[in-house]
Amino acid sequence: MPLTNVQARDLDAVIHPYTPLHKIREIGPLVLDHGKGVYVYDTQGKEYIEGMSGLWCAGLGFGNEELVEAATEQLRRLPYYHLFGGKGMEPAIELAEKLKEIAPCEIDKVLYSSSGSEANDTQIKLIWYYNNAMGRPEKKKIISRVKAYHGVTVMTASLTGLPNNHRDFDLPVANVRHTDCPQYYRFSQPGESEEEFVQRLAGNLRTLIETEGPETIAAMIAEPIMGAGGVVIPPESYFPTIQPILDEHDILLIDDEVICGFGRTGNWFGATTMGMKPATVSVAKQMTAAYAPLSAVMLPKFMVEALEAQSAKIGVFGHGFTYGGHPLGCAIGVKTIEIYQRMDIVGRVRSLAPQFEKRMMALADHPLVGNVRCKGLVGGIELVADKATKRSFEAAQGVGAKVARLGEGHGLILRAIGDTLAVCPPMIISEAELDELFDRTIKALDDGE
Ligand code: PLP
């Protein structure tokens, strides 16, 4: 197909993240123009079901007038202010109060930033600062996991456990250690039960901690369900089994709720769904339903007290972003949570989950599909070259990306992560729209055979 004018302009001026840059002309670009409900429309007027909520974030879909109004009102009243040097504003206060109310663990205060990466980066800085305040400057290493995704800053890309986030970026930095990915389908040994798999991973984690020395390890960071690593849902016993090992060695658990937060897994937070007992929590994405960028770290009292005590010793607390707690994001965040509460987002996800699971699991019979996994309204469809041996396609074949593109032909946007197709529809999706999403998915898979 010849390029449209807007596509040509895009190619001449824009770099696309997470894209094979050498193939961008083959791929598109697909230039979107507007959205309504669970649908987005390109510049030619073609309709797509947004099966990924953008990047796991537009949980209330597109064109929500209440959010537009909340944003407009805030822009008129006070389009910008900051929290530096003791300044404050009502939307930042109200959102922090709401977050404390719904948090998955005891939270004392909230520190704002703009993106998931910034929130996780802040977590690490605060934990280092905290350990310095506690007089243990050697307790600084952070454990993450293979296939984790925590962002793209120097530190958070280091925590991310995906090769292309490290390769040629000179990462990971020191002080980061990766332990196993809890994906039973891919990483279990022949004949190993799920429980044996969990015990082996827990044993490896203990060995890592003991080899490094627990006095050198500050924290472990984990997503309840790994998203960008290919939708990895750990076995139910995984977090309950590793949590005591962390507690025993005084290692804090940082809960990265950037994808799982705000109802996605059938609870307010993925930590509840997966049995995590975190010390601190990072949130972003669905906190504002993606109508504005905003993220936050939610901190327990003992950390807040240590930060305050350290400030008393050394003066100014030297951290903060110009746009951290931006009033536009906070006003939208307050309205978003109000809408989630009014529509009972947790109840809604739980009531749609059985249909989602049924349609997902039915895909397992498709010749291209090796494994299907889902929880709440998030899932992954892993494509394989050989179902019996689980053999993957050669990466160069780009089968996942090809099927995702075929989906676009059928009016469906999914996200290919290697050969796993991620599905994460807006949580406002209706039952009929959900069926339509899966009907289009089947067409894309059939075309991809
Ligand atoms: N953490 C998780 C679990 C994520 O999925 C992401 C992004 O997808 C991030 C952190 C980074 O967020 P951002 O892209 O807003 O920096």
Domains of the chain: 31-63+344-448 (3.90.1150.10), 68-342 (3.40.640.10)
pLDDT of 397 reads: 86
Please provide the size of the chain in residues: 449
pLDDT surpassing 80 at residue 319: yes
ipTM of the modeled complex: 0.99
pLDDT of 186 reads: 96
Q: Which ligand 1 atom minimizes the distance to the CA of 257?
A: 3
Using CA atoms, how far apart are residues 173 and 168, in angstroms rounded to an integer? Answer: 13
**Helix or strand holding residue 325 (H, E):** none
pLDDT surpassing 90 at residue 67: yes
Strands 412-413 and 378-383, bridge-based pairing: unpaired
Atom 10 (ligand 1) nearest CA = 150
Lowest mean pLDDT among 164-178, 216-230, 325-339, 385-399: 385-399
Q: Give the residue-averaged pLDDT of 266-271.
A: 98
pLDDT of 25 reads: 84
Q: What is the pLDDT of residues 103-130, one digit of tens each?
A: 999 999 999 999 999 999 999 999 999 9
Pocket lining for ligand 1, CB < 6 angstroms: 55, 115-117, 120, 149-151, 223, 227-228, 256, 258-259, 284
Contact criterion met (CB below 8 Å) for 351 and 114: no
Cα 117 to ligand 1 centre (Å):
6
pLDDT of 203 reads: 98
Residue 28 is classified by DSSP as -
Mutation pick for ligand 1 pocket among 150, 225, 282, 295 (CB with most ligand atoms within 8 Å): 150
Q: What is the residue whose two structure tokens read 């205060």?
A: 109
Using CA atoms, how far apart are residues 48 and 26, in angstroms rounded to an integer? Answer: 20
pLDDT surpassing 90 at residue 242: yes
Cα 149 to ligand 1 centre (Å):
7
- The burial class, CB within 10 Å (0-12 / 13-18 / 19+), for 93 is middle
Using CA atoms, how far apart are residues 159 and 145, in angstroms rounded to an integer? Answer: 8
The CA-atom distances, in angstroms, between 316 and each of 81, 83, 319 are 20, 13, 9
pLDDT of 28 reads: 79
Can you list the positions of beta strands (E) in 72-138?
Answer: 109-113
Using CA atoms, how far apart are residues 161 and 148, in angstroms rounded to an integer? Answer: 5
Cα 245 to ligand 1 centre (Å):
26
Using CA atoms, how far apart are residues 122 and 103, in angstroms rounded to an integer? Answer: 18
pLDDT of 449 reads: 86
Q: Which residues neighbour 413 within 8 Å (Cβ) at sequence distance 6 or greater?
A: 40, 48, 49, 50, 51, 52, 404, 407
**Helix or strand holding residue 412 (H, E):** strand 412-413
Nearest residue to 425 (alpha-carbon basis) of 383, 374, 368 = 374
Q: H/E/C letters for each residue in 338-360?
A: HHHHHCCHHHHHHHHHHHHHHHH
One-letter amino acid of 185: Y
Contact criterion met (CB below 8 Å) for 114 and 321: yes
Six-digit token string for 75:
């822009």
Using CA atoms, how far apart are residues 158 and 71, in angstroms rounded to an integer? Answer: 35
Q: Give the residue-averaged pLDDT of 433-445.
A: 98
Nearest residue to 113 (alpha-carbon basis) of 419, 266, 319 = 319
One-letter amino acid of 251: I
Mean per-residue pLDDT of the chain = 97
Cα 239 to ligand 1 centre (Å):
21
Q: How confident is the model at residue 313 (pLDDT cuts 50, 70, 90)?
A: very high
Using CA atoms, how far apart are residues 414 and 48, in angstroms rounded to an integer? Answer: 10
Cα 397 to ligand 1 centre (Å):
27
Q: Give the residue-averaged pLDDT of 315-325.
A: 97
- The burial class, CB within 10 Å (0-12 / 13-18 / 19+), for 241 is buried
